[in-house]
Structure 1
Amino acid sequence: MPWTQAVNPLGNLWLSALLDALPIVFLFCALAFWRMKGHIAGLITLLLAIVLAVGVHGMPGKMVLLTTLYGVLTGLFPIGWIVITAVFLYNLTVKTGQFEIIRSSIATITEDRRLQALLIAFSFGAFLEGAAGFGTPVAITAAMLAGLGFNPLYAAGICLIANTAPVAFGAIGIPIITAGAVTGIDDMAISQMVGRQLPFLSVFLPFWLVLIMAGWRGALEVWPAILVSGVSFALTQWFTSNYMTPMLPDVASALISIVALVVLLRVWQPPTIWRFPDEPPATLKTGKYSAGEVLRAWFPFIVLTILISDWGLKPVKALLDKVTVKIVFTGLDQAIIAGGKPLSVVYNFSWLSAGGTAILIAAIISAIVLRVSIGQFVEIFLKTLKDLRFALLTIAAVLGFAFVANWSGMTPTLGKAFTVTGVVFPFMSAFLGWLGVVITGSDTSSNALFCKMQQITAEGLGLNPVLTIATNSSGGVAGKMISLQSIAVGTGATGLVGKESELFRFCVLHSILFTAIIGIIATLQAYLFPGIIPPPVPAAKAAATPQALSQGVGILLGSLLLILILGVAVYRQKK
């Protein structure tokens, strides 16, 4: 028998909203004050949501359990699958020694601390955020800068602030994919909107980083490098997010900005080599490598970029989606009446067209070319699964909570209450995303928690929901630098354990400033430039016409030929 979603179940909107906010309040307290482990806090939050869904909203117990299962499955696939394979590919390069060559080749390009910050903290950090995410960028880049001789506080602080630009597209676009999953809106539309907000911050960020380090005079001395770094990153971020796929902006933007800055440094150098006063001695060991060795080290990520680009194209997606397994949730499908219409609940197991599968194929090709044994390959994969087990449990719990809250009526109740903010909501939506990341340390989790609420509130105010959903993710990036997890990673990487409060104070005003900038951009887009916002189209599969399928085959064959040529060249080199 169909069940109608209960919005404002107590008959008093504020009381209902206050009660429905309890799981989110608990999650905030559990992570911010009680220092509870993420997976435990996530599971308890899910249990609280289940209790409210059954006891307050009157959702039948069987429907609640099926909804939880649907959310958990969505958290594990495709979201968790991308996380596993992205981190696995990164671990593969570390275990084979290739990442050491990548790191060293970046660190030895220049001795100027300002330019090192642009290359390592901004560009290389964005590359790591796109390839792996989950604290990896700050841990590696902060340790690199400290090892090169940076003041430890500046090494950690600069890397935390620099990690702002790529977070929304981190870990192969997971935050955007999650936002699409919980709202039902095509993730490409959300990607396009984020790609029309964050590039403004990406252009500004390199200047801001150098200004923090070296002041106005120091920044003006290297303005060509600042301009090249920021503009090349921002333009690539805009293009890839609008015309390719949300899985690609970080990796592509980072690589383009690194190459652009390296090319600039071939023809231009700053008038002075700038260093910090009273620098500690350098401890990072670097070496010189041949062009062939550098190509070999970067090969896995070149393959990753090619395949992810292909997987984001409609003809390729149409071809790969031919093997999708559809699982109809009997007892839930067409059984929940939301907004006067029954919900269609079908789980699409698109195992071949999933982004994680493209990354796994890149890892397999890389393992062959780098001569990794089957035993070592399996060992690294199993260790990756073991290392990520709690992160995956957290993602599954948070997505389970998100779907229970959405379908029981909790999120619509909160969204209805948020309409009280009126015309300032686009500005406030940035701070809602910021709060979510400060609480959870993850733009992905923030999107799972708040994007449905952003959607419902925007619709209640007559705004295009794509704007506020995207702003949740764009505003969230500025919260990353002051989340407890990020602060802990930054202090651990630079030997500042016990000085977390100093690092927090270093970053907090920058965090609030960046969020306000995103809020202002969103407000201008909402009321002055609404035409810039993509329509809220529902998620849809690419059309599997014979022409599209033949194009998909052609694109894949062309890419595999290119990879084969590169792979043979790399394979023939000596280890």
Structure 2
Amino acid sequence: MLPLLALSPILLILVLMVVFRRPAATAAGVGLALGVVVALALFEVAVPLPDAGDGASALSTSVAAGLGGVALEAAFLAATILWIIFPALCLHELQTATGAVDRIRASLTGLSGDPRLLAILLGWFFALFIEGAAGFGTPAALTAPMLVAVGFAPVQAVTLALVGHSIGVSFGAVGTPVLPQIAVTPFSGPELAQAVAVLHGMSGWVMLLFLVRYARVTEGPLAAGMTGRTVLPWAALAAVLFVVPYLALAFAVGPELPTLGGALVGGLLFVLILRRSGDGRRAAAPVPAVPAAAGAVSGRGLLWAGLPYLAVLALILATRLVPPVQEALRAVVVDWTMTGGFSGRVEPLYHPGTMLLAGFLLGGLAQGVGVGTLAGAMRRAAARLPTVALALLAMLALARLMVHSGMITTLADAAAAGLGPVWPLLAPLVGILGAFVTGSATASNILFTDFQQATAQTLGLPVLPLLGSQNFGAAVGNIICPHNIIAACALVGIAGREGEVLRRTLLPCAVYALLGGALTWAFAALG
């Protein structure tokens, strides 16, 4: 009964968002209220304070300190996430104001008017490249607005961005999610990378099939590009072109480069083959008219339109792959701790949001826009933040409450105790749960790597497949995580419609998790 009560706030949020179609801010607020009641009644929220004394007053003070620590952590984490959302919104507003999005749209629809091929180009290769380079919500922040710009409906664009990048999350931000597992297990980075890369490599094609399916359109400028022909051969090619270098880098190098290298190599080869084949051009729909202000879509014009994105990519690569630069930026740390185990930490100069803001400013100046245009984009972006901030704060407060009160540990322990030898089949669900409540594959691995390792040892199962399954689940959990959905919806102007996106991403998440669980069970059985 206790595990069910611990799960009740999450179930309530899901029901409100999926069944009753309530906005994320409303659902999170109600879920948080229930979470506080459950935590106070059945779990440990109070923080021991040496000077508090005894009695009801002391207990009240300790509980207030515990809830205050939860609120402070939630606010701090919300600020770090908003630092990604705000510059991404600025970038999108700038590109819209200058007409750059029209040039990019015209160029892509010139390459292929088939929306399914466009989804592969942007929702698969581009999103995976950004995930490998930056992670932490950046793929959806950049990809969803671009998908809207080429003609996809906003809900559809967010869904495509979330589904398309999921296979690469385990090695996002140049391998960051693997670092917690290296720190607390006896396995090396390459060993851990291989364990999860095999799972994604053998099942990632499922996400590409969902991407192609969700990319179908029946109205709007892209509808003319829909034909009766199948694009499954192109989807198969895209899967192979990404997975082969992805696996090769995981086995040869380790966790830093599989996603980044697989997307870069695979994407370039895919574009080259598409251009050489002429198949994309035969499927091309009439390109929507580009406003006169945008000018002709020449190679130079397209380069001009992409300058902010190129600036972001260059900054990300320089800060992630050049050791002296990385070390200098990561040396600047803002952190804090509080009695009761509450803490926060951010590296402001290394943060993806800082890269996005720098790319916005440098790219805008390189495009020749004035300070007034940049300031206007920032004002419009800031006006869209309040609703998003409230939803994020409520959801993160519930997540931190569940972690610090022991509700998450109760859920995980009950699952393992009741399932025994069949645990490998459902092991990815723990990673999904961690990503759902924290919004981060890295945080999910921090929470549950020790648990997965201990469970495997208790049940007499090989540990490495279970650790790979944890990272696998943490990756797929990102596509149903309310934090990511809230952020992506805000970027394309559909705040309040998060439930529609969640209903679409639940199915691919479930299918992918079941396939990953089956593979984990097979590898565990083989020893």
Mark yes or no: TM-score above 0.5. Answer: yes
SS at match of 1:108: helix
Q: How far apart are the structure 2 equivalents of 1:99 and 1:443? A: 32
Partner of 2:111: 109
Contact 1:427 / 1:523 at 8 angstroms: preserved in 2? yes
Partner of 1:294: 302
Partner of 2:23: 37
1:263 maps onto 2:265 in alignment: no
Q: Which amino acid aligns with 1:232?
A: L
The CA deviation at 1:291 is: 1.3
The CA deviation at 1:410 is: 1.5
The CA deviation at 1:38 is: 1.0
SS at match of 2:306: helix
Partner of 2:240: 231
Count how many residue pairs are aligned between Structure 1 and Structure 2: 472
The CA deviation at 1:388 is: 3.2
| Unmatched tracts of structure 2, length 5 or more | 47-62, 217-224, 458-462
Q: How far apart are the structure 2 equivalents of 1:382 and 1:487? A: 19
The CA deviation at 1:392 is: 3.1
Q: How far apart are the structure 1 equivalents of 2:364 and 2:143? A: 23
Instruction: Point out the more displaced range, 226-235 or 24-33.
Output: 226-235
Superposition pairs of residues 8-27 of structure 1, within 5 angstroms: 15-27=1-13
1:353 maps onto 2:350 in alignment: yes
Partner of 2:313: 305
Decide whether aligned partners of structure 1 residues 527 and 452 sit closer, same or farther in structure 2, where only a CA change above 3 A counts: farther
Contact 1:122 / 1:159 at 8 angstroms: preserved in 2? no
Decide whether aligned partners of structure 1 residues 236 and 78 sit closer, same or farther in structure 2, where only a CA change above 3 A counts: farther
Superposition pairs of residues 126-525 of structure 1, within 5 angstroms: 137=143, 141=147, 144=150, 160=159, 164-167=163-166, 195-203=197-205, 223=233, 225-226=234-235, 228-235=237-244, 249=259, 256-270=265-279, 273=282, 284-285=288-289, 289-313=297-321, 315-329=324-338, 331-333=339-341, 345-419=342-416, 420-431=418-429, 444=439, 452=447, 456=451, 459-462=454-457, 463=463, 466-476=467-477, 512-525=510-523
Partner of 2:60: none
Q: How far apart are the structure 2 equivalents of 1:241 and 1:44? A: 42
Q: How far apart are the structure 2 equivalents of 1:461 and 1:292? A: 56
Q: How far apart are the structure 2 equivalents of 1:34 and 1:446? A: 28
Partner of 2:222: none
SS at match of 1:28: helix
Q: Which amino acid aligns with 2:13?
A: L
The CA deviation at 1:417 is: 0.5
SS at match of 1:326: strand
Q: Which amino acid aligns with 1:109?
A: L
Q: Which amino acid aligns with 1:452?
A: L
* Pairing partner for 1:92 from 91, 94, 98: 94
Contact 1:24 / 1:45 at 8 angstroms: preserved in 2? yes
Q: How far apart are the structure 2 equivalents of 1:271 and 1:140? A: 19
Partner of 1:53: 39
Q: How far apart are the structure 2 equivalents of 1:137 and 1:180? A: 26
The CA deviation at 1:332 is: 2.7
Contact 1:229 / 1:260 at 8 angstroms: preserved in 2? no
Contact 1:300 / 1:366 at 8 angstroms: preserved in 2? yes
Q: Which amino acid aligns with 2:71?
A: L
Deviations 1:292-313 (A, max 9, x none): 1111222222221222123334
Decide whether aligned partners of structure 1 residues 33 and 136 sit closer, same or farther in structure 2, where only a CA change above 3 A counts: farther
Contact 2:177 / 2:445 at 8 angstroms: preserved in 1? no
| Unmatched tracts of structure 1, length 5 or more | 1-14, 147-151, 276-280, 334-344, 530-575
Deviations 1:257-295 (A, max 9, x none): 4432221234334499469xxxxx968336952211111
SS at match of 1:36: coil
Q: Which amino acid aligns with 1:444?
A: G
Deviations 1:51-74 (A, max 9, x none): 333332243213422431343144
Q: Which amino acid aligns with 1:165?
A: G
SS at match of 1:452: helix
The CA deviation at 1:26 is: 1.9
Decide whether aligned partners of structure 1 residues 486 and 309 sit closer, same or farther in structure 2, where only a CA change above 3 A counts: closer
SS at match of 2:336: strand
* Pairing partner for 2:70 from 68, 71, 77: 68
Contact 2:473 / 2:513 at 8 angstroms: preserved in 1? no
Q: Which amino acid aligns with 1:410?
A: M
Contact 2:70 / 2:397 at 8 angstroms: preserved in 1? yes
Q: Which amino acid aligns with 2:330?
A: D
Deviations 1:5-52 (A, max 9, x none): xxxxxxxxxx32222222222222222223222123223333333333
For normalisation by structure 2, the TM-score amounts to 0.70
Q: How far apart are the structure 2 equivalents of 1:162 and 1:291? A: 26
Q: Which amino acid aligns with 1:284?
A: P
Deviations 1:153-183 (A, max 9, x none): xx9889956852303667x959x97998999
SS at match of 1:289: coil
Q: Which amino acid aligns with 2:421?
A: V
Q: How far apart are the structure 2 equivalents of 1:315 and 1:402? A: 35
Contact 1:244 / 1:312 at 8 angstroms: preserved in 2? no
Contact 1:311 / 1:355 at 8 angstroms: preserved in 2? no
Q: How far apart are the structure 1 equivalents of 2:432 and 2:144? A: 18
The CA deviation at 1:418 is: 0.8
Decide whether aligned partners of structure 1 residues 206 and 57 sit closer, same or farther in structure 2, where only a CA change above 3 A counts: closer
Instruction: Point out the more displaced range, 390-399 or 19-28.
Output: 390-399
Deviations 1:327-377 (A, max 9, x none): 232x335xxxxxxxxxxx443342222222222222221122122322322
Decide whether aligned partners of structure 1 residues 386 and 528 sit closer, same or farther in structure 2, where only a CA change above 3 A counts: farther
Deviations 1:170-206 (A, max 9, x none): 7x959x97998999979x9998865554344445655
Contact 1:137 / 1:163 at 8 angstroms: preserved in 2? no
Q: How far apart are the structure 1 equivalents of 2:139 and 2:86? A: 11
